[in-house]
Amino acid sequence: MKLKVARGPAVNALQKIQAIISPRTTLPILNNVLLETADGSLKITATDLDVTVTARVQAEVVRAGATTVPAKHIISILRALPAEELQLEVDTKNNTTIRSGSSYFRIIGIPKDDFPPPPEIAEEKSYTLEQGNFRRLLELTSYAAASSDEGRAVLTGVLLSFKGDKLTVVATDGRRLALREAEMEIPRGSEAEMVVPIKTIQELQKTLGDEGDILIRAGRNQVAFEFGDTLVLSKLLEGTYPNYRQVIPAASDKRVVLEREMFLDALRRAAIVASGQAPSVKLDFARNRLEISAENRDIGEARESMAAKYSGEDVSIAFNPLFLIEPLSALDTDEVILELTDELSPGVIKTTEAFLYVLMPVRLA
């Protein structure tokens, strides 16, 4: 294998796929990236067996071929090189030679056959969306996914439901649930639901751009996301996603309109005092007024008060502040609507967009 490639784009590509490489893997080949030539380009791939990311860079291919090199080393070297033009050459013993200006490196690699082959996608259905829109859908929901749940592994993923001419993205950890819908045309026969692991979602959030389309190809156990020069392949989580529709309260009689940023800042301040094992902030709503308070036996207390559009009867409710801060910081609308019933029933955050967030209160035993 022999090729010429520009340093900048190559470093960018490596940075995109770097997050997939787990520093603690016990399989040495997974510390390596796969370098392959394709017509007029160099393909760089990393995998942790669950997620595989491939980035493509324009290159002048002199001799086709493939090899693997330790990710850590090639990234460090490419970042540190001063010149823009690079020449890569791989010999039969999988030594990769990098020449650039007056620099010369030889990196010991592992044959490409040791690199796990990408999974195959069977019985695929495909969907096309705008990259920026899709990233936004993920940003607005993914934080609500469970970080770990031995009992229900599906909760550690994000549900993508392509049904009824819309894409519904849902994440929940059993305490709160975030949902965002987007209208799109879904041909008959292409309706499907899938649960994508949170690691894949996070990788997508990082690498998705604003412009251009993303093609999603979904099989039974695997899904592929193709956009720009990037391909993300991921396994899907098995199991039945809980029926999220049934946890969304049908009607709440108390409706408060709050200025999002003001609410968020006040919560962040109160949360400083509410830290600890079981953080909670109390919200007291009175006519056009919201009082936020937090108390911690070991630290002290905090009180905030702000304006709110509210005309119902007084109501108090307590939440884990993180459960409010996360959706409020993901949103970008000026106002949010908070719907409540009483201190024991779930609260709902809505916006003028097709966004919905349900969270359970914290209460005294």
Partner 1 sequence: MTQNGSRIRILPDDVANQIAAGEVVERPASVLKELVENAVDARASHISVELVAGGRRLILVQDDGIGMCRDDVLLSIERHATSKVYHAGDLTRIATMGFRGEALAAICSVSRLEIVSRTRSEPTAVRLTASAGKILSVDDCGAPCGTRVAVRDLFFNVPARRKFMRTERTEAALLRQMFIAYALAFPGIDFSLRSDGREVYRLPAVSGFQERIRLLFGEDLFRQLFPVAGSEGTASIRGYAGHPSLSRSDRGGQFVFVNHRPVQSALLAATIREAYSSILEKGRHPTVFLQVDVPPEEVDVNVHPTKREIRFRHPQQVRNTLAVALQEALAGHLPGRPDSGVSAGFPRSGRGGPVPGQPPAVTGSLRPFPYVRIPVEVNTPDSGPAPPAVPVLEDLPSSGRPPVTSDTAPWKWFRLLGRIAEGRYVIMETDQGLVLMDQHAAHERVVYENLMRAFSSDHPLIQGLLAPETVSLPPADAENIRHSLRVLRRMGFDIEEFGADSFVINGLPAIVSPHGSVRRLLLDVAAAVHVAGHRAAQRAAIAELVAKAACRSAVKGGEHFSEPEIEQLVVRLAETEMPYTCPHGRPTLIMLSFRELNRKFGRG
Give contact residues for partner 1 (rule: CB under 8 A). Answer: 22-27, 30, 49, 116, 119, 146-153, 156, 172, 174-177, 221, 235, 238, 242-243, 246-247, 275-280, 296-299, 318, 320, 344, 346, 358, 360-365
Crossing angle of helices 131-139 and 198-207, rounded to 10°: 130
351: DSSP letter: -
Nearer to partner 1, 109 or 279 (CB): 279
CA distance 37 to 57: 10
Nearer to partner 1, 227 or 319 (CB): 319
Nearer to partner 1, 207 or 320 (CB): 320
Please state the closest distance from residue 129 (CB atom) to partner 1, in A: 26
Nearer to partner 1, 24 or 188 (CB): 24
Give yes or no for a contact between 131 and 232, defined as CB atoms under 8 angstroms apart: no
Nearer to partner 1, 52 or 96 (CB): 52
Torsion angles phi and psi, residue 175, rounded to 5: -110, -35
Q: What would the two tokens of residue 267 be?
A: 């919560």
Please state the closest distance from residue 277 (CB atom) to partner 1, in A: 4
Nearer to partner 1, 214 or 236 (CB): 236
The residue with tokens 């987007």 is 182
The residue with tokens 């919905």 is 356
The residue with tokens 């035993």 is 365
Nearer to partner 1, 19 or 153 (CB): 153
Please state the closest distance from residue 294 (CB atom) to partner 1, in A: 11
CA distance 176 to 324: 10
Please state the closest distance from residue 44 (CB atom) to partner 1, in A: 21
Torsion angles phi and psi, residue 2, rounded to 5: -150, 130
CA distance 87 to 302: 61
Please state the closest distance from residue 80 (CB atom) to partner 1, in A: 15
Please state the closest distance from residue 49 (CB atom) to partner 1, in A: 6
Please state the closest distance from residue 318 (CB atom) to partner 1, in A: 8
Please state the closest distance from residue 278 (CB atom) to partner 1, in A: 4
Nearer to partner 1, 3 or 154 (CB): 154
Radius of gyration of the chain from its Cα atoms, rounded to whole angstroms: 25
Give yes or no for a contact between 331 and 258, defined as CB atoms under 8 angstroms apart: no
Edge-to-edge order in the sheet of strand 300-307: 300-307, 289-296, 281-286, 315-319
What's CA 318's distance to the chain center, in Å? 28
DSSP per-residue letters across 260-283: HHHHHHHHHHHHHHT-SSS--EEE
